[in-house]
Every structure is written in structure tokens, then in C-alpha cells.
Amino acid sequence: MTPDLRASLRRRKPEKRRARLVKRSPAMLESIEDLAAQPQPALLLDTNVYILNASGRLPDRVAACLDRARLFHCTVCLSELAAGIANLPPGQGWSAIRDHYAAVFESIPAARLLGPDAGIWIESGLVVGTLARLQDFQRTQRKECLNDALIYLTAARAGIPVLTADRGDYDLIQQLAPEGRFIAFQV
């Protein structure tokens, strides 16, 4: 199927967005505590969750939630992790980090691996382009936000919230793409 830019533009209406977005207070957003009543929540992990978990800095309440959740993974996050591994200087600790993430990748069931399709790439581009204009993003901010939008919209298409420690970018993305959800936590 050919991506339909006109349909995406009609849905997102970037030309109608003129005012700078304001980040909402944490009380207005879903939090990890909102999942306490769910026996087995489905979650798509943001890249920072893998990193915090590997470094032992994941808050206990978040780790407890992960232990009982149905976890989904995004190819964008795996790419970010792979780039981080390749960027590390070989030497002390590199092999352990490589082996840790190789085991993580190998443990992901194919049915729980999600990736953006052409339509999600286009929608993400529209969301990030709009944010870049409204929020005066610099080039590096646009690139980072593009990955977050790809993750967010991939999760939204699957009907799964993103679990993240990055409340700021996901809050702004959700304001332009309210069909998705994210669960934020503080480290």
C-alpha cells in the first residue's frame, strides 16, 4: 500500500497548529501507579527502560510492574540500543554490555516485536515537524523526537502504552497525537 501523505496531513493538520505547546503537570498524565490495579498490563518499553534496568537504576515500583507485565518491544528501541553498543569504546566492560543486550534481544519473542510501517514514518514526520516549528527544536532534538514519535505511534497502532522515563517529549507528542498513551515514571 502506498503511503497517503494527503490523508496524514488531513488527520494531523500541522498548518492549524500555531501556538507553542506547554508541557502538562505530572498529575495530568498517566503514571506507573495507574497500572497497580491491572494484573498483567501490556507495555511497550522505551529505550531508557532497557538502559535503566541494565544499570540497576530502574525504580523498584517500575521493576515490579515489569515483572507482571506483558512486554512488547519496538525495532526503533533495539536500533537505539545497538547504536549505543557500537558507540561504546571497546575495553573494560564492553563485552559484558554487549552480552547483556545480546541476551535481551535473543529473549524477545517475534510476536512481541513491533516496528513502524511507512504510514507511521510519515505520521511521525508530521508530528515531529510540527513540534520542531512550534517548540523551536534544534536538529538533534528533532532526531531524538523522531525516534520517540516512531515508538509512540507504533505502540498506539498496537493499542499499547509506552513505558518511559522521558515524560517531556512523549507529553508533547501525545498532544499532537492523542490516540496513543504513555506511562511516565521518574528515576
Nearest to residue 74, comparing CAs of 134, 139, 142, 157? 157
Q: Is the pLDDT of residue 1 over 80?
A: no
Q: Which of 28-42, 58-72, 102-116 has the lowest mean pLDDT?
A: 28-42
Q: Is the pLDDT of residue 2 over 90?
A: no
Q: What is the pLDDT of residue 101?
A: 98
Q: What is the pLDDT of residue 64?
A: 94
38-184 domain in CATH 3.50.50.60?
no
pLDDT tens-place string over residues 44-89: 999 999 999 999 999 999 999 999 999 999 999 999 999 999 999 9
pLDDT tens-place string over residues 129-153: 999 999 999 999 999 999 999 999 9
**96 residue type, one letter:** A
HEC string for 49-103: HHHHHHCCCCCHHHHHHHHHCEEEEEHHHHHHHHHHHHHCCCCCCHHHHHHHHHH
Q: Is the pLDDT of residue 3 over 90?
A: no
Do 41 and 70 form a contact (C-beta atoms < 8 A)?
yes
Q: What is the pLDDT of residue 36?
A: 79
Over residues 113-119, the mean pLDDT reads 97
Q: Is the pLDDT of residue 29 over 90?
A: yes
Mean pLDDT, all residues of the chain? 95
